[in-house]
Amino acid sequence: MESKVINRKYYLIGMIGCLFLFVLGLIGWCGGANSTHKDLRLRIEKISDFEMKNPYSTSVQFTFTDSLLNEGYSFGDYIVFGENEEGYDVPLHSCIIPSFTKPSVECIERYEANHHKNSKNINKLLYEYDYLSISFHDSVYFCSMQILKMAQDRNATICAIIPSYSISNKNSGVSDMEIEGVLLSQLVKESVNTEWMADSLMTSIYCELKEYCEKEHCNVGDNHVKNLTEALSIHKREALKCVSKDRIKKWLEMHNEQIRKLAKECPDIYNASSQLLDSYHWITPQNYKTVISISKSHADNWKYIDSWDYDDIRDKEEIDQICNIIGYDGDKESIDKFMYTIRFWCIRWDEGDAEWIYNWLKGIM
């Protein structure tokens, strides 16, 4: 009886020891797998035209050239990659744990409609008709799309950059793209100061405004500047903040007559220009910093607030302080439109282009 108890004790110790060794081995294996970590370069076969043309999109979808594993569908948790003769990474096989000798990517959770459950599989990197996507910040989306379109037009080799397995950062998402060996993020940084990017942006904005003017739209109030601003896609509004201002000014000067003609044909543009010109004199080099400090004290995101309510005690306090500074004693009950343009000119003075914009607006009226 005592012998059986001893044997069970040794069996239990042995099982715990084996489990401990297994865990140590798994940790060591994962450590070895982590040492193979690299940024994988996967060739892109096709970029979705729909996403590129969609004004509300913040991402672009694509399929891969080397997308299918020889073994087909698999439920492995990781995809193992290897380099082909051209130096691009291609999927080799799937496995339950990351590879010890080659870079691996953790699979993506996928909702299976037929089974009504989530299952890990090698889906988006491997299915012939599925897409993977990369999201861009609004400020660089327009520039990124222009560069990708140009690359596709000249049949350039485009790759998706996907970090492989790492203990500190398991990530199967796309971190960047690459065009002929140069990162898209780097190309965007270089392009924002180019003439062709400013021309692309301003031409696109002009076409969008012209299209807006040609359509019938309901009466959305008398804040014409706000109406026109909201008529533009968020990507183009954000791109204006990063594309070279000098290049944009040059484009505007070269297309003065074209814009003047559109302003005469489109009451919205004419009224928006008049609204800005009428409120210009309230903000000066002497008071704009004080007005900005008042706005900042009421809201950290003051640049993005686009409506004010005098009946609201917080808005009333801000409006009264600003009006006292600039000397405005007009109607405060319907001051929303006025505050919108005041904020516009404060930002323009702060960024140093208020006088130029004022003179340019007078030139197109």
Each residue's pLDDT tens digit, 205-250: 999 999 998 887 776 778 999 999 988 988 899 999 899 999 999 9
Sign of CA dihedral 182, 186, 188, 191: negative
The more confident residue out of 166 and 196 is 196
Asked if pLDDT for residue 118 goes beyond 70, the answer is no
Hey, which of 10-14, 33-37, 291-295, 314-318 has the most confident mean pLDDT?
291-295
Q: If you average pLDDT over residues 335-361, what whole number do you get?
A: 94
pLDDT surpasses 70 at 22: no
| Burial (CB count within 10 angstroms: exposed 0-12, middle 13-18, buried 19+), residue 106 | middle
Q: Residue 309: what pLDDT?
A: 86
Note the pLDDT of residue 304: 87
Report pLDDT digits (tens) over 250-281: 999 999 999 999 999 888 999 999 999 999 99
How much is the pLDDT for 90? 85
pLDDT average, residue stretch 280-291: 95
Q: Flag the least confident range among 45-54, 88-97, 134-143.
A: 45-54
d(CA 272, CA 224): 5
Cα distance between residue 20 and residue 148, in whole Å: 51
pLDDT at 105: 78
Alpha-carbon distance of 132 to 148, in angstroms, equals 16
Q: What pLDDT score does 106 carry?
A: 73
pLDDT band at 305; cut points 50, 70, 90: confident
Alpha carbon separation from 97 to 31, 100, 132, 172 (Å, rounded)? 12, 9, 23, 15
d(CA 192, CA 194): 6
Nearest partner of 147 among 209, 181, 190, judged by Cα: 190
pTM: 0.79
Distance CA 43, CA 64 (A): 6
**Phi and psi angles of residue 88, each rounded to the nearest 5 degrees, phi first:** -95, 155
Q: Which pLDDT value is given to residue 55?
A: 67
Mean pLDDT, the chain, rounded, equals 80
How confident is residue 6, by pLDDT bands cut at 50, 70 and 90? low
- pLDDT confidence of 131, banded at 50, 70, 90? low
Q: Mean per-residue pLDDT for 81-100?
A: 82
User: CA angle at residue 62 from 60 to 67, to 5 degrees?
Assistant: 155
Rg (CA), the chain: 29
Flag whether pLDDT at 181 surpasses 70: yes
Residue 83 has pLDDT above 80, yes or no: yes
